[in-house]
Amino acid sequence: MIDHSADRAVFRQLADLLRDQIKSGELGPGEPLPSELRLAQDYGISRTTVRQAIGQLRTEGLVTVDRPRGTFVRVPEPVEVVPLARGERVSARMPTDAERRKHRLGEGTPVLVVTAPDGTETVHPADRVHLTRP
């Protein structure tokens, strides 16, 4: 499972293992991950290292933490499709703190920024909005 002599850091190896379980469906949306203590004991590593691995998955937007209930596989949000107008441009970035609060964004969720030809910017939560060219 975990190879301490490997080139890849232990916490990245654990993140890879958990990510694979999520992508394969072995850990489905809404399901809890084992507790940090449990993971540490199961894999013979420290809780600090487990937290690094889970931190990685949080920044990737794969899991959410409901403290102190546990850590859960993120459940996909219903997506609204927004059409693009002619000449509009699209970029993406991480939200500011204010935007995070305003849109109730989870960790690891970027925002889509639509810029109109006149320079007006519209910000959309990337987990709830997709854009389309009609």
Partner DNA sequence: GTCAATTTGTGCGTATGTATG
Partner DNA sequence: ACATACATACGCACAAATTGA
Nearer to its own copies, 2 or 94 (CB): 94
Question: What is the spatial distance between Cα 86 and Cα 46, in angstroms, rounded to a whole number?
Answer: 54
Determine the angle formed by the axes of helices 36-43 and 47-59, rounding to 10 degrees: 120
**What is the spatial distance between Cα 57 and Cα 12, in angstroms, rounded to a whole number?**
10
Give the count of residues interacting with its own copies (CB under 8 A).
Answer: 38
> Which single residue is written with the structure tokens 């320079």?
119
Whether the CB-CB separation of 117 and 51 falls below 8 Å is answered with no
Q: Is residue 69 involved in binding DNA (CB under 7 A)?
A: yes
Q: Which string of x and - marks every residue 107-126 that binds DNA (by CB under 7 A)? A: --------------------
Closest CB to its own copies among residues 35, 115: 115
| Residue 38 vs 77, nearer CB to its own copies | 77
Q: Please give the span between the terminal C-alpha atoms of the chain, in angstroms, as a whole number.
A: 47
Q: Which of 17, 52, 94, 110 binds DNA (CB under 7 A)?
A: 52
Q: Which parts of 60-119 interact with its own copies (CB under 8 A)?
A: 60-61, 79, 81, 84-97, 107-112
Which of left, alpha, beta for 88 (phi over 0: left; psi -120 to 50: alpha)? beta
Report the interface residues with its own copies, using CB under 8 A.
Answer: 12, 15-16, 19, 55-56, 59-61, 79, 81, 84-97, 107-112, 126-127, 130-134
